[in-house]
């Protein structure tokens, strides 16, 4: 089955969030009072992004951050083996989180999904994923590597969901930099995929070429486009 198409709209679903003065929070975000954040984390709110003519999301305060899938699209496409918002124990915060964490986000992000098998499953199911493959490390691996911060105990996509809705914190630059190294213009996995496609002689959207890398990129809010492929393919040496 082919992956679901991205939205073609120039604006994104949901009500725009007005910018506010930067405030100090004592463990709660002004957008989501019940959400876990680092104590005394500096937060502010920005507008929900729009798309440019190439379908990339535009965050005016972080112009180098250009994913082309919204959090809703990532979830609806089939991601994380259905486990992302499963109940967890975070060794970073020392707290347990229930299967209700996803309810922090807009209900339409999950419309039509089977929550138990596609959002909060304790068991990873490759068949849930767009490309029917397993990818990614465990939460414990990410925690032990130092990538998880207290404000977003589930990881990068947790941060992205909140950032997309307008939350801004002192951790944003680090998280955006992680995305750039993975899926940005010079991103390791994005250009790894393009190289493999070029050397295979297949079209950019032949999903039989490196499905694991494609699924990985999707988890980081990116799907390869013809424009991006054509731009980098010129630099690839065909063996």
Answer yes or no: is 55 within a domain. yes
Number of domains, the chain: 1
Residue 8: the pLDDT is 35
Q: How far apart are CA 29 and CA 204, in angstroms?
A: 40
String of DSSP letters for 192-211: HHHHHHHHHT--TT-TTS-H
Residue 83 per-residue DSSP state: -
The residue among 12 and 195 whose pLDDT is bigger is: 195
13-67 tens-digit pLDDT: 433 333 443 333 333 333 333 343 433 456 789 999 999 999 999 999 999 999 9
Domain extent at residue 94: 37-231
Answer yes or no: is 2 within a domain. no
Answer yes or no: is 222 within a domain. yes
The residue among 37 and 191 whose pLDDT is bigger is: 191
Q: How far apart are CA 124 and CA 120, in angstroms?
A: 10
Answer yes or no: is 11 within a domain. no
Q: How far apart are the first and last CA of the chain?
A: 31
Answer yes or no: is 16 within a domain. no
Residue 20: the pLDDT is 40
Residue 43: the pLDDT is 79
Average of per-residue pLDDT across 159-187: 97
String of DSSP letters for 43-86: EEE-PPPEE-TTS-EE-TT-TT---SS-HHHHHHH--GGG-TT-
Q: How far apart are CA 164 and CA 153, in angstroms?
A: 17
Answer yes or no: is 61 within a domain. yes
Residue 87: the pLDDT is 98
Residue 33's contacts (CB-CB under 8 Å, 6 or more residues apart) are: none
């Amino acid at each position: 089955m082919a992956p679901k198409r991205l939205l073609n709209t120039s604006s994104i679903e949901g009500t725009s969030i007005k910018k506010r003065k930067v405030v100090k929070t004592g463990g709660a975000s002004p957008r989501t009072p019940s959400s876990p954040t680092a104590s005394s984390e500096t937060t502010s709110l920005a507008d929900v992004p729009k798309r440019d003519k190439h379908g990339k999301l535009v965050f005016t305060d972080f112009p180098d951050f250009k994913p082309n899938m919204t959090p809703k699209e990532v979830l609806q496409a089939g991601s994380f083996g259905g486990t992302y918002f499963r109940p967890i124990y975070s060794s970073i915060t020392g707290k347990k989180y229930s299967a209700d964490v996803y309810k922090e986000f807009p209900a339409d992000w999950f419309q039509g999904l089977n929550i138990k098998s596609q959002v909060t499953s304790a068991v990873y199911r490759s068949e849930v994923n767009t490309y029917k493959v397993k990818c990614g490390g465990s939460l414990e691996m990410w925690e032990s590597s130092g990538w998880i911060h207290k404000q977003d105990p589930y990881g990068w996509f947790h941060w992205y969901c909140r950032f997309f809705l307008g939350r801004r914190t002192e951790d944003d630059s680090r998280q955006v930099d992680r995305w750039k190294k993975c899926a940005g213009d010079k991103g390791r996995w994005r250009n790894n995929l393009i190289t493999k496609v070029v050397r295979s002689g297949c079209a950019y959207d032949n999903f039989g070429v490196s499905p694991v890398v494609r699924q990985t990129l999707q988890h980081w809010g990116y799907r390869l486009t013809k424009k991006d492929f054509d731009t980098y393919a010129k630099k690839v040496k065909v063996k």
